[in-house]
Structure formats: C-alpha cells, structure tokens
Structure 1
Amino acid sequence: MTSLPLFPDGAPRLDPQPISLDVLREKYLKGQEAGADDLYRRVARALASVEAPELRERYEALFLDNLRGGAIGAGRIMSAAGTDIQATLINCFVQPVGDCIQGQDDEGFPGIYEALREAAETMRRGGGVGYDFSRIRPRGARVRGTASLASGPCSYINVFDQSCSTVESAGSRRGAQMGVLRIDHPDVREFITAKRTPGRWNNFNVSVGVSDAFMQAVVDDQDWQLVHRAMPGEAMIAAGARQREDGLWVYQTIKARELWDTVMRSAYDFAEPGILFLDNINRDNNLRYCERIDATNPCGEQPLPSYGCCDLGPIVLTRFVRHPFDKGGGARFDFEAFERAVALQVRALDNVLDVTWWPLPQQRDEAQAKRRIGVGFTGLGNTLTLLGLRYDREEGRHMAARIAETMRDAAYRASVALAQEKGSFPSFDADGYLAEGTFASRLPADLQALIRQHGIRNSHLLSIAPTGTVSLAFADNA
C-alpha cells in the first residue's frame, strides 16, 4: 500500500477507498489534476485571490492547510473554484414565484415564466433551487385578464420539473429543486399527494409550509380554512366560497386533523412531503427584522429568503480525533484545533461570496447585503465511534452537543473579528439581530456584547448540510 502522511498524533493514514477515488476523479478533478492535493491547491488559490495583495500568499497557504486538515468546501466550491468555467460556487438558492404569467405581479414578485427563466439560468450554472409556489392562485380561481380559470400551482410545478430535466447543470451536476406550498393553500391536498403518481415531480423534493395556527388547530381538533387572495370562479362562489374580513377568499373548510393525516400518510408511504415550521423558522431568523423566509434549498437544511444562497463548507470531524480507539493514548477530540479550523473556514466561505460567478444579479445583491455562509460538519457518527462513545448514550449526546456548540461559538467569534477587519454585512442592525428569540440572542453574553460593539461580517454562520459526494471524495466516506 502507498505510504501516506501520519495524523498529528502519529497514527497512520489509510489508503482511500476505491469509491472515494472514483468520485474524486468523476466529479471534482479538473485538467491535469492527479489527486486531492492538486485540487486543494486550486481551491486555496482561488479563495485567497480576493484578499488584499499583501495577504494573498499567506491565506493561500492557510486555506491549503485547512483543506488538507478537513475544512473542505461544498461540492460546487470543490468542483469549480479556480477553473475557467462560468459556474457558481454556490450549491443552492431560493427564488420567488409570483401570481402572474410574465413580468411582475402586484407585489413585485416575478411571474411564473420569468421565475422559470431565472431558475433555468441558475441550474445551468450549477445551482439547485427552492421555491414557494403559494402565491400562485389555486385551481378554479378567476383570471380576469383572459376571462378564464386558473389551473393552479401544481400544474406549473409540472413545468418547472420538466425544465429541470432539460437543463444540464454546469459540471454535469444533476438538477435539484424544492417545492413548497403553504398548509392553507386551497390546492394543498393535490400538492401533498402529487407524488403518488409514478414519475411525477421526479426532480423535486416537496415540503408543506406549516404554521403554528394550523398545529394548534390539529391539537384542538378544529376546522381549517383553505384560503387565497385570488377571487374564486363563479362555480366555487356558488358552492360556498366566501371572502373573509381580511380580504382572503375561503375556498373550503376542512378538519385540520384530516389534512394532517393526509400529510402523515403520504410521508409514510412515499417519504414526502416534508414539513417546514415556518413560524419557528422566522422567529429564529437573525434577520427577521428585514426579511421573510417561506422556502428552503432543495435538501431542506437551509431556510432562505428570495434569492438567498447556500455558501456551504463542512468540516470533517474525524480529522480531529486524537488516538482513535485509544491507540497510543486516550482517545480525545482536539477542540483547540477544531476551533482554529472553524475560524479559518469562516474567512474562506466569506471569500467565496466575492469569488463566485452569480447566475442572477438579484442573487449577488442579496448575498452582498447579508453575506450568509454555512459552516457545517460531516462524520459525527464515525467520530463518536473513534472516541469509543455510543451514539445512543448520554456520553455520545454530550460530545455531539459540545462539538456543535464549539463550532457555533468559534464561527460567530471569527465573523466578529472579520467584521473588525472588513466591515459588517450591510444589512446589520444590532438591536434587530440580537432581539429576543433570534438564534443570535441565545449566544453567550460576551459574544453578544462583541457583536453589539463591533458588528458581525455574516448574518448566518452555520448549516449542517448533507455531504454526499464530498464525504466520499474528501472524507473517506465519513
């Protein structure tokens, strides 16, 4: 076997698994690159290129060491950074869809086919897309301009699904989409059960946006109104549709538990739809003072506003285990080294926002205003195994929580330091950011004080994303 460098504690590195090499070659190596280290050099050079000239060489070396140490980028970064491909380094986006065919609707959201064009351009450049289709008027609603009746959001999701099948993403990446519909939309039952039809929406994950009010209605066994601001057609009005005092039209009233049971049966039988607790998401949001979130990226781990993006970088936790299985000493997790890796990962991902190709100007503007990033990790289960801790015991849960808390605090502290050097994100407002209930309001008191004093570079810092091929290619399938 090939002799590989030792880990910091002297433990030998094993040769990579064949599948890891296959994925590395198929998806990530470019040009004359012969292995992962060539790729790391390309990525480090690209991410350091936006540093001040006198700092570039230093940060290129630091980023390279961090990549070798397990602080990798998400798939788009590892594939496209430092190449001449006009592809985004951002894995996923959320894009709005309005209630009109073209142009913008009366709330300023892009029409359905304008949104489709934006999505096609985003996927062509390598990004996945999530959408909230709830603004689209339901089946049977009146369309004044053509004296016709609407076909509803599910019919247009068919169009988006076919477009995703047709558009080839940059770097041979399969297109990915998330479709969301609110639990009070009149077409929600068709949405919930759509995937019972074989082959329908194969290029979509789907989730229902659920409110606190709906969950309380389920608990209390109450009725639930399916509503929209669009006026129903005459037949629906004749059948009992009516307008509420708030201006919304009630298309139908059903039992909340009946609707919840429909969701649960579909989730059990087909593993979809997912559930998004939108009120919780928006209460927890550090930027609830300047944005609303109604959808997530395709895998669901990143709630985002319109044109928001996933700038992701997982850290391979197994690289920070010293003396695994108690070989050569007591097994331990190197928290100090992990903190350093997290801090440098924040800077690298912040630089991605300035290096990347943006499919749409709206995505660029949204990112520059808020500078969202997502430091995460992979290999937690294997890390606990190497430490001799069971995943289903209190000791394992305590270690997992300590790792996550360390990552959280290290990331936020690094972003505060970066704000002192490069400035806070433009939309930062200390009172709103630290308001009671936000994620930031639960940070340690001293860290909150630093944020209030110096600001913070990135509105959001953390995202535990799925790491399929990057775990195979760069983490030995951890």
Structure 2
Amino acid sequence: MAAVEKAEKREIVEEQFYEVMSALEFLPAGRTLNNAGTPQSQLANCFVLPVEDSIEGIFDSVKYMAMVHQRGGGTGFNFSKLRPRGDVVTKSSGGFATGPISFMKVFDIATRQVMQGGKKRGANMGILNVSHPDIMEFIAAKQETGEIENFNISVGVTDKFMRAVESDGEWQFVNPRNKEVTSTIRARSLFAQLVTSAWRTGDPGLIFLDPINRNNPLLNSYGRIEATNPCGEQPLHPFDACNLGSMNLAKMVKLKNAEVDWERMEYVLRVGVRMLDNVIDACKYPLPQIEETARANRRIGLGVMGFADMLYQLRIPYDSERGIRLAGKLAKFIREVTWDESAKLAKEKGEFPRWKESCFADLGGRTPKYRNVAITTIAPTGSISMLANCSSGIEPNFALAYTKNVVSEAGLSYMNMYFARELEVSSWADGDPEHKIRDRIVREIINNGSLARIAGVPEEVKSVYRTAHDIAPEWHVRMQAAWQKYTDNAVSKTINFPHSATIEDVEKAYILAWKMGCKGITIYRDGSKDAQILSTGIMKQKKIISQKSQIIQSKIKTETLKERVKVCPECGGKLVVEEGCSKCYGCGYSVCSG
C-alpha cells in the first residue's frame, strides 16, 4: 500500500502503516488484508453493478458479478428497472416477462457456483423499490428456506412512502417500463406485509433512499444512488467501488485514568485516511468500468470497531444517554479529522477527478478541495474485529461468551477479555479460595451469554457489561442514528430483538429509524432463522432438509400483468371476482360494480 507513494515518502509511510496495523489500532478490511502484495491485488470490498431491463443487460450484470466475486468482492444491485412479472416482452416474438425475482434467482445460482476469490461464496445485496409492482413477491422471497440464500434483501423506500404510511394514505405501484400505475394499495397494508416478513425471517431490511441522496455529492451530475453493498453501509453509483478500513476504539483508551485518547486517535485516523486512499491506486479492479469510476470518485470507507469494548473500559452503559453522547462526540471528531486529512492529501496529490462535477465545487471557495468524494463508513468488521480481538463495528457484544460458527459446525468459543479481567480483579467474583463463585458465573455466562439473570453480580457491573439482547431495540436505533449523523456513507448495524418481540415492536423500530435519519435498517429477532452466525450455549441449531420437486417446463403458466393487477387495496392479497363483486378472502374486503 505504501508502494504507491513517491520515493521520498515511501519509507516513512510504510513505517506508519506498519505501526498502526501491528498494534491493531487500524486495519484495512478483508480484501486488502487478503490480497495486498499478491499477483491478484484486488483490494476493494464493495461494488454496485447496474441491472438494465433487457436480456443483454441482465446477463451482462450476471457476468460482471461473477468476475467481481471471483476476485473477492461483494456486490449490490437494484432490480427496480426490470419490468414486472406478466408484463409484455416488446422486443421478442411474444410472451411475458418473468419479473425481477425470477432473475434474482439466476444471480443467486451464479453466485453459488463462483466461489468468492476462490475461498468463499460471494455475497449480494438485492434491492427493489417500494413502488415496483412485484414488491409483495420480493418481500416474501426469502420465506422459503434456500431461496436466494446468497442475497441480503432490502426494500428501497422513500420519504413519500413513509409519509403515506403515517397518514394512512394510498400507494401506487408503477410499471418501470412505461411509468404507468398498475394498481393502488393502502400504504399501511404494504408496510404491514414488510414488517411481518422481517419479524418472521429477518428479511427484508429497509434502505432509505432519500437520506442517502441528500448526502450524495454527485447527485446533480451522476444521478441518484439506488443500491448498496451487501451489508448496506456503502451506498454506491453503478460501477463504483469502495475499500474499507476501521480504527479499533478499544485501543483508544488511556488505561491509567480510563478516558478517551483523542490525541492518539487523531494520529491513527490520519494514517488510516492515507492508507485507504493509497489502496485505490494499488488496487487492480475486476472491470475497466469499475476502475474508471473508483479512481474518479476516490471514495473510501473509514470506520470503527471496538466501540462496545471502549464503553466497557470507560464503564459507560451502551443503552444510556452517556453512551449516545459519546457516540456522537466520537463520530463528529472522526469526521472533522478525516476530512481535514483528505484536504491535506488533495494539496499533496490532487483532488478527486470528479471534483468539478460535485456539490463541493458549487460552494466555490467556501470549502477546501478534497482528495475523496466520501470518507467515513461504519462497516460490520466481522473478520478484522476477530483478528483485533474486539467487538465488531458499533455493535454491542453479542454475548460475553459465545460460539461463532464460521469455521466448522463445532464453532469457535470466545470470552470477552474485558469481562474476564473484571472477574480476575473483582472481590465480588472471587470470594472463596477454590474460585467456585467465579467458575459458576463463567458457566452461567457460557450458557446464557448475558449477566442479566445471573445472581451474585453487582447491578453496576450488569449495567456496564450489556450485551445485544439486554438492550431495548429503541436504544439500538438511537445508537445507529447517533453515528449516522456524522457519517458520510452509511452505518451497518443490526437491531436485535428478543424472540418474544411483537410485530408492532419491529414496526416501531422501522419508523423510528426513518425519523431519526438512518440510511437503512436491518433487524433480527432471535431464533427467526434456521441458523445464525452467533450463538450462545443454550441456542440449538436446526437442520432442515428441503426437498424440491422437478420443474416441468410445459406446466409453467405466467399470469399477465393485466391479470395480476387484481390485488386487494387493503392487504395486497389476490382479489377473486364472483357475481360482479371483487372479494378478498384474506381480509374480507369486497367491492361490487354497477
């Protein structure tokens, strides 16, 4: 990464990079760590590819996706340009379109066959806008086990739709081919279907398109951003890419007096900005279109990990006003330092090539020139946080002791180092010479993950060592919003719900996330999937064998779009026409003609 520097600076920059990486204070993300210095040298993590409404456009995108996955990247798509199922195919000899969900399955199968970077299967984000006529089918797409399993899916929603939900207004489905309204539904009914599916399965999430584009420096010149990378933290234009890296906040604490080390943090941030900017030049991109866009925008995604572990050291509860205030203070500081460093790099190396086409240029001399179109991103940091032995991203710890099922069925067991240290030094945990109290607490934590229901632990300790399921969903959303306020790109965070959470609880979280300015939201209700990455001792993994019948081509019947528009305006179900009346057997809606 330092090799792209001028000769006179190369050695000192290399030393700085080595210093922060070897101390686990800052790490570039997985693709950079895995591929730097190799012949492949594909160092970017996130890509978005276009999907055009033609067979050529669709299968070009499948090909591009395979090429990106082969080189280790993850891809995002918005399928909203594709005409809906049952619509006419105007350039063929006849027939009807099968719709975006059917083509998502093609992408899914291709992903399954191309191992990502030769080491793991690829990951995708699939987005369909809330006005698309196939949105109901999209919402339910992952309810059957094994369907489009290589996709995270999210509905692209607008402020207009959310306001219609609030006011109980109507919502129109629009055919993207000809912009004609195909049907109308109550916005709340559609929202209820979305929320219910998320409650049942964790999918789909929401992508708030308008907040994303209010923060899009290239909106006027290159249009709206409509898609993100697989985890949702990186909104990108088609053929854009981004490399990620994160500062370890757990290392940014002065141990003597348990306070934030702002001075060290500034140094690490400045080194991190230079490192990620260098990655853009060192990277060998999988497609010429991607190389052109990535080097024209010079977008980077600098974020954090270890936030929960920082809070443990500072003895600040995650779900507290102090915790929210610290998050905002950190995010603001990170933004100010990183943009200042980008301005310094612009003076040294030049501004990003699309500067004159950006909103920054419209400000004239009121803002300095920058090296990068966008800088900060909060990524999930799954792999690098394990390498750094810290909590992931801005998430609370899933558990104080847990098993992570990423290598084998047996999994890898972890105990949080800061809580382990608390047990070693605290008299309440070790009041007997045989350590029976401590051993009993450890056993119970391994089984439960949390301190919440363990006897003998002081309340102050329980309030500090909070885990994901100890925290109410509202606090999860508030924390995400606190970081998003000062983050250029977006924030990847999961809003955890206990298994007992209601559909109304999920609905409240979705609405709160929109009102608080989040750019997306992903929820997970404990136990709502057949398998999950993180589990405590009491969680049992289910194994489901799915038997699929053979598809017989001659028996396939596609409803025309005209036939499909007979949907219930109350619940979105199918209307049955009997004796001149349209009836919905799902909710009881009925209307008669004449």
Q: TM-score range by the shorter chain?
A: 0.7 to 0.9
Shift of 1:148: 1.4
SS at match of 2:142: helix
Do the aligned residues in 1 keep the contact of 2:84 with 2:100 (CA within 8 Å)? yes
Do the aligned residues in 2 keep the contact of 1:420 with 1:454 (CA within 8 Å)? no
Does residue 464 of structure 1 match 2:378? yes
Structural mapping, 1:126-275, within 5 Å: 126-146=72-92, 147-170=94-117, 172-230=119-177, 248-275=179-206
Q: Which residue in 2 is equivalent to 1:294?
A: 226
Does residue 121 of structure 1 match 2:67? yes
Distance 1:401-1:290 versus aligned 2 partners, 3 A rule: same
Rounded to whole Å, the distance in 2 between the matches of 1:431 and 1:154 is 35
Rounded to whole Å, the distance in 2 between the matches of 1:229 and 1:57 is 54
Shift of 1:91: 1.1
Q: Which residue in 1 is equivalent to 2:490?
A: none
* TM-score, normalised relative to structure 2: 0.64
Task: Please point out which of 290, 294, 300 is paired with 1:363.
Answer: 290
Rounded to whole Å, the distance in 1 between the matches of 2:390 and 2:129 is 40
Kindly provide the amino acid, as one letter, of the partner of residue 71 in structure 1. F
Structural mapping, 1:301-450, within 5 Å: 301-323=233-255, 329-429=256-356, 432-433=359-360
Kindly provide the amino acid, as one letter, of the partner of residue 216 in structure 2. N
Rounded to whole Å, the distance in 2 between the matches of 1:171 and 1:349 is 24
Q: Which residue in 1 is equivalent to 2:16?
A: 62
Flag as ranges the 4+ runs of structure 1 deviating above 3 A. 451-454, 475-478
- Number of equivalences: 389
Higher mean C-alpha deviation, range 68-77 or range 406-415: 68-77
Do the aligned residues in 2 keep the contact of 1:128 with 1:176 (CA within 8 Å)? yes
Shift of 1:87: 4.8
Q: Which residue in 1 is equivalent to 2:26?
A: 71
Rounded to whole Å, the distance in 2 between the matches of 1:119 and 1:430 is 28
Structure 2 spans left out of the alignment, 5+ residues: 393-594
Shift of 1:290: 2.3
Distance 1:219-1:394 versus aligned 2 partners, 3 A rule: closer
Rounded to whole Å, the distance in 1 between the matches of 2:27 and 2:77 is 28
Does residue 112 of structure 1 match 2:93? no
Rounded to whole Å, the distance in 2 between the matches of 1:65 and 1:248 is 56
Do the aligned residues in 2 keep the contact of 1:72 with 1:314 (CA within 8 Å)? yes
Q: Aligned-residue CA RMSD in angstroms?
A: 1.7
Shift of 1:169: 1.3
SS at match of 1:205: strand
Shift of 1:466: 0.3
Specify which structure has the higher proportion of helix: 1
Distance 1:206-1:93 versus aligned 2 partners, 3 A rule: same
Residues 150-172 of structure 1 deviation map (CA, whole Å, 9 limit, x = unaligned): 00000000000010000011151
Residues 165-208 of structure 1 deviation map (CA, whole Å, 9 limit, x = unaligned): 00011151331000000000010100001111111010000000
SS at match of 1:149: coil
Q: Which residue in 2 is equivalent to 1:94?
A: 48
Rounded to whole Å, the distance in 2 between the matches of 1:87 and 1:124 is 12
Distance 1:384-1:431 versus aligned 2 partners, 3 A rule: same
Rounded to whole Å, the distance in 2 between the matches of 1:186 and 1:424 is 42
Rounded to whole Å, the distance in 1 between the matches of 2:118 and 2:130 is 36
SS at match of 1:82: coil
Kindly provide the amino acid, as one letter, of the partner of residue 220 in structure 1. S
Rounded to whole Å, the distance in 2 between the matches of 1:171 and 1:412 is 36
SS at match of 1:181: strand
Shift of 1:433: 2.5
Shift of 1:332: 1.1
Kindly provide the amino acid, as one letter, of the partner of residue 416 in structure 1. A
* TM-score, normalised relative to structure 1: 0.79
Q: Which residue in 1 is equivalent to 2:548?
A: none
Do the aligned residues in 1 keep the contact of 2:128 with 2:138 (CA within 8 Å)? yes
Rounded to whole Å, the distance in 1 between the matches of 2:260 and 2:27 is 19
Rounded to whole Å, the distance in 2 between the matches of 1:369 and 1:431 is 11
Higher mean C-alpha deviation, range 142-151 or range 346-355: 142-151
Rounded to whole Å, the distance in 2 between the matches of 1:124 and 1:389 is 43
SS at match of 1:126: coil
Rounded to whole Å, the distance in 2 between the matches of 1:113 and 1:362 is 16
Larger radius of gyration: 2
Do the aligned residues in 2 keep the contact of 1:430 with 1:452 (CA within 8 Å)? no
Shift of 1:431: 7.3
Identity, % of aligned positions:
42
Shift of 1:366: 0.6
Rounded to whole Å, the distance in 2 between the matches of 1:250 and 1:378 is 45
Do the aligned residues in 1 keep the contact of 2:154 with 2:203 (CA within 8 Å)? yes
Structure 1 spans left out of the alignment, 5+ residues: 1-46, 103-110, 231-246, 324-328, 436-447
Distance 1:434-1:407 versus aligned 2 partners, 3 A rule: farther
